[in-house]
Amino acid sequence: MVEETFKYAATPDDDATATAAWNDIQTCREVYNHALTQEYRPRSAGDKPSYTELQNKLTGESGWKERWPEWQTVYSKCLQMAVRRIKQSESVLESLQDRGYKVGQLKWKKPDEFRSICYNQSGFDVDSNTGRTDHACVNFSKIGDFHINYHRPLPANADITQIILKKEKTGSWSVCIVVDYDPGYPEKPPVEDIEVEDTVGIDLGITKFIHDSNNHSFESLDEQRDRERIDRRHRDLSRKEYGSNNWENARQALARAYERLDNRREDYREKLAHEYTTRYDAVFLEDLDVKSMTEGNGNSRNVAAMSWRQTIQAFNRHGKKNKCHVIEVPPEGTTKRCSQCGCSTQKPLWVREHSCPACGFEGDRDYNAALEIKRLGLEKLGVETNTKAVGQGMAKSTPAETALPGETEATADDVSPKRVVETGSPCLTERTASAVSE
Ligand SMILES: [Zn+2]
């Protein structure tokens, strides 16, 4: 069984439903804030209340719902879930801290910082037999009906565990349906049947998003126009009177600009993950929790680390569907070690060429890293290979030094940027095409 979330655009049945939903969300926020500031935060680190302890405060004599009767208008499970959020957020902060990020403490939430309500196990009903195409109706207990754009049906054997109703910053509504189901993924090819040339190593970077062991590369998405749009809308917003209608419109326009950039990034990741996992039996990537600590600095590092993490997740997801092994290898030393002879050479980040003093192999720094990632990946997966032959075989097929990845003669099996653009997946658009490097 796997857990998957399906997200849909939603429309409230009428204005009263929209109002009821927003009111209930805000009640959840009050409960969250109350639990956080009155119960959770005052207690010392070793003595934090458990989830059950917090939840029990809601009910019973002199419980919160007794003291504030207006809280009773919300479906009771939703209030429990609001309280549970404290623990969830806390564990997110902890895991960030474990990975070396600086984190603050949980904050009291303002109305626009708390935008969703969570129905867990009960209190909802999904009706997809409405007689209309791409349409389903979700009933939320004590709120009412929301119509959803049911463009992607839930799996037939899905068990709905949770539904989250959210008012996005753009002002539109969305419904996330979390399901457990048996996806019936196809079997991946057995390791002993995998040929070395049907595998690929991938180096993820900041300016070049991907450089692979066949010496093909993909630039990072060109975000300049999105950035300009976002800057422009930030300026628009700053000129409006805070809280006015014009201000609200400008704020929503800004939120849409951010959303658009997010969507483009996601689209790009998904397409790359699809291409690689359909073309190869195994894809090797670096374990980036570690890599993000060692390369770059400050904000650009955080942004890159985030997009690498999401990219790896996309590869893992597509790998399951497309019968492709996706293996993460430790990144230490991959840029320094020579992929041909294993000799380590110190090179600072700005040295883009790899030139081995021991064996004379020369090539792009990232290409050398990708080859090294492939070698480590084959080792980890257990594919029988002669290390030397792997390296030499790949080096031979590549005019190193001067040739750009796109100029390499591509065979049918190669994932060349050109091929992605020309033959691409059916959903590949012009927009993405222009972002792919040649
Ligand atoms: Zn060497």
pLDDT tens profile 109-132: 999 999 999 999 999 999 999 999
* Cα 193 to ligand 1 centroid, rounded to whole Å: 29
Specify the pLDDT at position 386: 57
User: Of 313, 294, 315, nearest to 200 (Cα)?
Assistant: 315
Examine the pLDDT at 97 and tell me if it is beyond 60. Answer: yes
What gap in Å lies between CA 240 and CA 250, rounded to an integer?
Answer: 8
Give the pLDDT band (50/70/90) at residue 396: very low
Examine the pLDDT at 193 and tell me if it is beyond 80. Answer: yes
Reading the block at residue 16, the tokens are 């009263």
Dihedral sign computed on CA atoms, order 420, 426, 427, 429: positive
- 361 in the same domain as 214: yes
Top-confidence residue, 322 or 419: 322
Predicted confidence (pLDDT) per residue in 198-228, tens digit = 999 999 887 789 999 999 999 988 999 999 9
- 272 in the same domain as 398: yes
Classify residue 350: in a domain, yes or no. yes
* Cα 410 to ligand 1 centroid, rounded to whole Å: 25
What gap in Å lies between CA 213 and CA 334, rounded to an integer?
Answer: 12
Bridge partners of 258, per DSSP, are none
User: Of 175, 170, 166, 167, nearest to 136 (Cα)?
Assistant: 175
Percent of the chain at pLDDT exceeding 90: 57
Note the helical H segments in 322-429: 365-381, 387-396, 417-422
- 367 in the same domain as 232: yes
* Cα 394 to ligand 1 centroid, rounded to whole Å: 14
Average pLDDT over residues 384-395: 52
Classify residue 186: in a domain, yes or no. no
* Cα 283 to ligand 1 centroid, rounded to whole Å: 24
- 201 in the same domain as 68: no
Domain range for 371:
191-435
Classify residue 20: in a domain, yes or no. yes
| Longest CA span, the chain | 80
Q: Which domain-ending residue is among 142, 161, 181? A: 181
- CB contact at 8 A, 173 and 14: no
Examine the pLDDT at 272 and tell me if it is beyond 70. Answer: yes
- 172 in the same domain as 195: no
* Cα 216 to ligand 1 centroid, rounded to whole Å: 21
What gap in Å lies between CA 175 and CA 288, rounded to an integer?
Answer: 31
Give the pLDDT band (50/70/90) at residue 292: low
Structural Rg of the chain based on CA atoms:
26
* Cα 359 to ligand 1 centroid, rounded to whole Å: 4
Dihedral sign computed on CA atoms, order 400, 403, 406, 407: negative
* Cα 346 to ligand 1 centroid, rounded to whole Å: 13
Q: What is the DSSP letter of 401?
A: T
- 133 in the same domain as 78: yes
Q: Give the number of domains in the chain.
A: 2
* Cα 404 to ligand 1 centroid, rounded to whole Å: 21
- 204 in the same domain as 162: no
Show Cβ contacts of residue 32 under 8 Å, excluding neighbours closer than 6 positions. Answer: 82, 83, 85, 86, 109, 114
* Cα 325 to ligand 1 centroid, rounded to whole Å: 28
- Neighbouring CB atoms inside 10 A of 147's CB total 19
Examine the pLDDT at 295 and tell me if it is beyond 70. Answer: no
Give the pLDDT band (50/70/90) at residue 248: very high
Classify residue 411: in a domain, yes or no. yes
* Cα 301 to ligand 1 centroid, rounded to whole Å: 29
Classify residue 165: in a domain, yes or no. yes
- 264 in the same domain as 135: no
The count of C-alpha atoms lying within 13 angstroms of the C-alpha of 261, restricted to the half-sphere facing its C-beta, is: 16
Helix axis angle, 224-239 relative to 245-279, nearest 10°?
A: 160
* Cα 201 to ligand 1 centroid, rounded to whole Å: 18
Average pLDDT over residues 333-352: 84
Q: How many helices (H) and strands (E) does the chain have?
A: 12, 14
* Cα 206 to ligand 1 centroid, rounded to whole Å: 25
Examine the pLDDT at 151 and tell me if it is beyond 50. Answer: yes
* Cα 339 to ligand 1 centroid, rounded to whole Å: 7
Q: What is the DSSP letter of 344?
A: B
Dihedral sign computed on CA atoms, order 367, 372, 375, 380: negative
The CA distances from residue 79 to 27, 57, 129, 271, in Å, are 8, 11, 30, 39
Average pLDDT over residues 302-314: 82
- CB contact at 8 A, 272 and 210: yes
* Least confident span in 214-218, 269-273, 326-330, 389-393: 389-393
* Cα 267 to ligand 1 centroid, rounded to whole Å: 38
Classify residue 73: in a domain, yes or no. yes
Q: What is the DSSP letter of 198?
A: G
Q: What is the DSSP letter of 110?
A: P
What gap in Å lies between CA 208 and CA 295, rounded to an integer?
Answer: 14
Top-confidence residue, 383 or 419: 383
Specify the pLDDT at position 425: 35
* Cα 405 to ligand 1 centroid, rounded to whole Å: 21
Specify the pLDDT at position 350: 78
Q: Which domain-ending residue is among 129, 156, 181? A: 181
pTM of the model: 0.64
- 225 in the same domain as 151: no
Classify residue 261: in a domain, yes or no. yes
Q: Compute the mean pLDDT over every residue in the chain, rounded to the nearest whole number.
A: 84
- 372 in the same domain as 242: yes
Top-confidence residue, 313 or 293: 313
Give the pLDDT band (50/70/90) at residue 273: very high
* Cα 289 to ligand 1 centroid, rounded to whole Å: 28
What gap in Å lies between CA 351 and CA 364, rounded to an integer?
Answer: 9
* Cα 296 to ligand 1 centroid, rounded to whole Å: 26
Specify the pLDDT at position 141: 97
Give the pLDDT band (50/70/90) at residue 283: very high
Examine the pLDDT at 428 and tell me if it is beyond 70. Answer: no
* Cα 8 to ligand 1 centroid, rounded to whole Å: 52
Q: Which domain-ending residue is among 152, 181, 210? A: 181
- 155 in the same domain as 271: no
* Cα 287 to ligand 1 centroid, rounded to whole Å: 24
- 139 in the same domain as 234: no
Average pLDDT over residues 396-413: 35
Classify residue 68: in a domain, yes or no. yes
* Cα 202 to ligand 1 centroid, rounded to whole Å: 20
